[in-house]
Amino acid sequence: MRFHLVSIFPHYFESPLSSGLMGKAVETGLVEFDHVDVRHFAGGVHKSVDDRPFGGGPGMLLKLDPMVKALGSIERPGRIMMLSPRGKPLNQARSRELALEEDVTLICGRYEGIDERLLDLYDIEMVSVGDFVLNGGEAGAVCLIESVARLLPGFMGHTDSGDEESFSAGLLEYPHYTRPDDWDGLTVPEVLRSGDHGKICQWRRERSLDATLRDRPDLLPTASLTVEDVDYLRKQSRTRLGRNLYIALCHYPVLNKFGEKVAVSVTNLDLHDMARVTRTYGLGGFYATTPIEDQQALAEQLLAHWKQGAGAKANPDRAEALSKVKVFDDIEAAILDITRQTGQCPRLAATSARLDRRKEAEPATTYGTVRKWLENSPVLLVFGTGHGLAEEILSRAEGILRPIRYLDDYNHLSVRSAVAITVDRLIADEY
Ligand SMILES: C[S@@+](CC[C@H](N)C(=O)[O-])C[C@H]1O[C@@H](n2cnc3c(N)ncnc32)[C@H](O)[C@@H]1O
């Protein structure tokens, strides 16, 4: 496989591409590097490769002309990739795909990047090595080359080494140990010395699952898990963010379709479905708030049906869910109740189907932000009935989540659906 490295600092690659297994792969001809020094293609006495950006702003840009000439000098460039934080992220699947190519060209940017017109002239895929900014594309190119080259047959000693590693099955890898088996009292797990391959295999799989659940739970939804894996994971303790999340369904003050402040009736469906979400996601609790006494009485009567009445006999699991519901006058009473239970005043987040245009310059609160809050504080997430929460509740909240389907013009979900979607986005299976 041949990598064409387009860079203004070709010497950067000297050590990383000649050390260890990579050095051997070059010696045996498995991997070849073709260094294309952009400066050779620069004109003028100073061989200048950069210039100031149009429109102003800090830093310099790599000029178009030397880049075009440098790329044009490569006889068989194959897939052309540009290292850039704007690119799609590099991952194991993409590396596997690239390992099937004969030629790959890697363009390494420097300064603020490269004149964008290069992308009009060539079919260039942008690739990022992570959500951070490096000084130049060379370090990223080395990451890409290493991850691709080691997948080439013959690069590593054992052809199956690549299959056992982190990300191969969508999980992080298990820990390894080597001699001595006792280092100043620090011993190697007994099972690894047992010679029992079945047990070793199971131990390794379980450690992979532990590591992934602990450090990269975000990988679990796409990992291929067996039924045994799932049974194992279910028994493990994990951060249950849901315990800190409380939801409230506010029946007053909310808006009607004319934008007037009104009270909306309590419904069995809302109480019922939101209680089931509360139980399913292990939430701290669910508050139905209305200051109207007969509405409170109606809510209590509905709850009693499911908790003690005929509903409880027919569906005992509903009683379990509905016992999570408390009927209070208003959001303030819910906040007090949570403070009493947890010893901490909850952070208040609101939801709306409409984009918050009051503070145009301020970005909406993200799901990630609320998930962070949940790590060390109770959070009360308020949903509105009718046409949404009134201004006084929205402005009381520390943050308003961006509406579900905010990029489309129709997003009129029932509050029950909105609750289910929002809670799932905040607390996925792995939390
Ligand atoms: C200082 S960076 C330019 C950053 C650019 N102004 C931006 O904000 O997207 C210079 C060069 O480093 C490389 N680079 C920086 N971060 C990278 C990353 N995360 N992945 C891949 N390449 C990166 C790119 O080639 C980039 O053109």
Per-residue pLDDT tens listing for the chain (431 residues)? 999 999 999 999 999 999 999 999 999 999 999 999 999 999 989 999 999 999 999 999 999 999 999 999 999 999 999 999 999 999 999 999 999 999 999 999 999 999 999 999 999 999 999 999 999 999 999 999 999 999 999 999 766 566 677 787 899 999 999 999 999 999 999 999 999 999 999 999 999 999 999 999 999 999 999 999 999 999 999 889 999 999 999 999 999 999 999 999 999 999 999 999 999 999 999 999 999 999 999 999 999 999 998 888 888 898 999 999 999 999 999 999 999 999 999 999 999 999 888 766 678 899 999 999 999 999 999 999 999 999 999 999 999 999 999 999 999 999 999 999 999 999 999 88
Is 208 in the same domain as 302? no
Residue 255 included in any domain = yes
For residue 239, give the nearest of 86, 369, 374 by alpha carbon: 374
pLDDT given for residue 363 in this prediction: 85
DSSP string, 24-68: HHHHTTSSEEEEEEGGGG--TTTT--EEPPTT--SS-EE-HHHHH
Count of beta carbons in the 10 Å neighbourhood of residue 389 = 24
**Angle at which helices 197-215 and 227-235 cross, to 10°:** 60
Going along 176-314, which residue ranges are E strands? 182-183, 186-187, 245-250, 254-255, 261-262, 285-289
With the most atoms of ligand 1 within 8 angstroms of its CB, the residue from 8, 12, 84 to mutate is 84
Q: Would you mind telling me the total number of residues written for the chain in this entry?
A: 431
Q: State which amino acid sits at residue 14.
A: E
Q: Is 135 in the pocket of ligand 1 (CB under 6 A)?
A: yes
CA triplet 371, 374, 378: central angle to 5 degrees?
A: 145
DSSP string, 288-302: EE---HHHHHHHHHH
Residue 47 included in any domain = yes
Interatomic CA distance for residues 419 and 428, integer angstroms: 13
Is 406 in the same domain as 292? yes
3-state secondary structure of 339: helix
Give the domain CATH number at 229: 1.10.1270.20
Cα 143 to ligand 1 centre (Å) = 14
pLDDT given for residue 90 in this prediction: 98
**Phi, psi for 349 (deg, rounded to 5):** -125, 140
Q: Is 58 in the pocket of ligand 1 (CB under 6 A)?
A: no
Beta bridge partners of 401: 365
Interatomic CA distance for residues 330 and 335, integer angstroms: 9
Residue 114 included in any domain = yes
Interatomic CA distance for residues 340 and 430, integer angstroms: 29
Split into its structural domains, the chain has a count of: 3
Cα 134 to ligand 1 centre (Å) = 5
Residue 286 is encoded by which pair of tokens?
């669910």
**Domain interval for residue 281:** 241-426
Cα 138 to ligand 1 centre (Å) = 10
Residue 54 included in any domain = yes
196 labelled ligand-binding: no
| ω into 180 cis (within 30 of 0) | yes
Nearest CA to ligand 1 atom 19: 85
Is 210 in the same domain as 306? no
Interatomic CA distance for residues 415 and 420, integer angstroms: 9
Is 347 in the same domain as 389? yes
Is 208 in the same domain as 247? no
133 labelled ligand-binding: yes
Residues sharing a CB contact under 8 Å with residue 133, sequence separation 6 or more, in sequence order: 85
Is 197 in the same domain as 314? no
254 labelled ligand-binding: no
Task: Kindly calculate the radius of gyration of the chain based on its CA atoms and give it in whole angstroms.
Answer: 29
With the most atoms of ligand 1 within 8 angstroms of its CB, the residue from 6, 7, 125, 134 to mutate is 134
Going along 136-265, which residue ranges are E strands? 182-183, 186-187, 245-250, 254-255, 261-262
Residue 159 included in any domain = no
Sign of CA dihedral 335, 338, 344, 346: negative
Query: Do 134 and 95 touch, CB atoms closer than 8 A?
Result: no
pLDDT given for residue 160 in this prediction: 58
pLDDT given for residue 82 in this prediction: 98
Is 228 in the same domain as 256? no
Query: Do 36 and 7 touch, CB atoms closer than 8 A?
Result: yes
pLDDT given for residue 161 in this prediction: 60
Beta bridge partners of 34: 4
Nearest CA to ligand 1 atom 15: 134
Query: Do 305 and 298 touch, CB atoms closer than 8 A?
Result: no
DSSP string, 176-200: ---S-SEETTEE--GGGGS--HHHH
Beta bridge partners of 347: 379
Residues sharing a CB contact under 8 Å with residue 232, sequence separation 6 or more, in sequence order: 206, 209
Question: Of 130, 149, 168, which residue sits at a domain end?
Answer: 149
Interatomic CA distance for residues 118 and 126, integer angstroms: 12
CA triplet 260, 291, 377: central angle to 5 degrees?
A: 95
Residue 398 included in any domain = yes
Place of tokens 């030397």: 66
Give the domain CATH number at 373: 3.40.1280.10
Q: Is 61 in the pocket of ligand 1 (CB under 6 A)?
A: no
Place of tokens 């905040």: 426
Is 252 in the same domain as 229? no
Q: What number does the ligand 1 atom closest to the CA of 136 have?
A: 12
What is the value of pTM for the model shown?
Answer: 0.90
Is 85 in the same domain as 195? no
Q: Is 291 in the pocket of ligand 1 (CB under 6 A)?
A: no
3-state secondary structure of 106: strand
Nearest CA to ligand 1 atom 26: 109
**Phi, psi for 384 (deg, rounded to 5):** -110, 155
Q: What number does the ligand 1 atom closest to the CA of 129 have?
A: 20
Is 348 in the same domain as 411? yes
270 labelled ligand-binding: no
Is 293 in the same domain as 413? yes
Is 13 in the same domain as 134? yes
130 labelled ligand-binding: yes
Residue 167 included in any domain = no
Interatomic CA distance for residues 115 and 36, integer angstroms: 18
